[in-house]
Amino acid sequence: MGLLFDSFWRAAVGCLLPRVLALSLLPLLLIAALALGWGYFYWNAAVLGMRSLLDASALVSSLWRWMQESGLGDVVSVLAPLLVVLAVAPVLVVLSLLVVALLMAPALVPWVAARRFPDLERKKGGSFMASVAWSIGSTLLALVALVLSIPLWFVPPLVLVLPPLIWGWLAYRVLAFDALAEHASRQERQEIFRRHRSSLLGIGIITGYLGAAPGILWASGAVFAAAFLILVPLAIWIYTLVFAFSSLWFTHYCLAALQRLRAEAPRARPLPGMDRPREA
C-alpha cells in the first residue's frame, strides 16, 4: 500500500507541471479533430438513425406520445442526441487512451526515469513495435468488451461499473507495459505483473472512474447539441489529462516495483580466491 500511495501523490504533483500540461494538449488536438470531423459529417445522420430506432418500437412510440401529450415536449429530440453521445463517448475514450499510449507514455516514462530512477538499468524487454502491437491488441479486446456490454448498460447499477472496469483493465494492460518496456526484461515484467496484478488493476479501475467524470458535461443532450464545439474539446482534454495522470501513476509504481525487485536479487558472490591478497 505504501508503494501505491507514494506513486499516487507523485503522479498528482506531476500533472501540475507545465511539461505534462503541454503534453496533454497534443492528443487533444488529434482527438478533437476526429470528434469534430465525425460530428460534421455524421452527426445529423447518427441522430436521425437513433431517432428512427426509437420510433421503430411501438411501445416506445406510445411512451413518447404520452409524454408529449403530458406537456413534456418532444422528448425524442433531446434523448436521441444524448444516446448518440453515450454511444460515441466510449470509442473516444478508447481512442484517447491509444493516443496517450503511442504519444504521451513514450515521453513521460523517460522523463520520470531520468528524474527519479537515473541509475536504473535499461534491459529493453519490450520494443516499440511490441508496445504498439500490445496496445492495439488490448484496445481491440476492450472495444469488443464495450460493444458486448452495451445491453447491460440499461441495467442502472451496471452502467456505473462495467465501462470503468473495462477501461481499468485496458489501462493496466497498456500503460503498465509501456512503463516497463524500456527498463525491465521480459522475465522481470512478467514477475511484476504477477506480484502486483491486483494493485495495477486497482490503479486502472480508479483512473477509469476518474475518466468517467467528464461525462457530466454530456448530461444534457440539448446542451451538448448547442455547445458541441466547446464541450467536446473540453471533455477530451480532461480525458487526456486523466490519462496523463494514469501514465504517471503506472510509471512511478512500475519503476519503483522494478527497483525493489532488483534489490531483492542476491548479489553475486566473489569467486574463491578473489578476495585473497596476492602473493609477492
> Cα dist. 175→160, 180, 251, 256 in Å?
23, 9, 8, 15
The whole model's pTM is what?
Answer: 0.67
- Tell me the average pLDDT across 238-264: 89
Task: State the pLDDT at residue 192.
Answer: 93
Task: State the pLDDT at residue 9.
Answer: 93
Task: State the pLDDT at residue 231.
Answer: 66
Residue 233 · residue 32 · CB < 8 Å:
yes
Q: What is the pLDDT of residues 160-210, one digit of tens each?
A: 778 778 878 888 888 888 889 889 998 999 899 999 988 998 898 888 788
Is the alpha carbon torsion for 219, 221, 226, 228 positive or negative?
A: positive
> Cα dist. 69→40, 64, 65 in Å?
33, 9, 6
Mean per-residue pLDDT over the chain, rounded: 76
Task: State the pLDDT at residue 278.
Answer: 43
Measure the CA–CA gap between 242 and 171, rounded to whole angstroms: 11
Measure the CA–CA gap between 183 and 161, rounded to whole angstroms: 34
- Tell me the average pLDDT across 30-59: 73
Measure the CA–CA gap between 144 and 133, rounded to whole angstroms: 17
In this prediction, residue 98 has a pLDDT band, given cuts at 50, 70 and 90, of low
Q: What angle do CA 204, 208, 212 make, to 5 degrees?
A: 175
Per DSSP, helices labelled H in the chain are 2-14, 18-56, 58-67, 75-99, 105-116, 128-149, 156-159, 162-181, 186-195, 197-211, 221-226, 228-264
* Phi, psi (rounded to 5 degrees) for 220: -115, 120
Task: State the pLDDT at residue 116.
Answer: 92
Q: What is the pLDDT of residues 57-86, one digit of tens each?
A: 666 566 666 666 665 555 556 667 777 776
Task: State the pLDDT at residue 93.
Answer: 62
Q: Output Rg (C-alpha) for the chain, integer angstroms.
A: 24
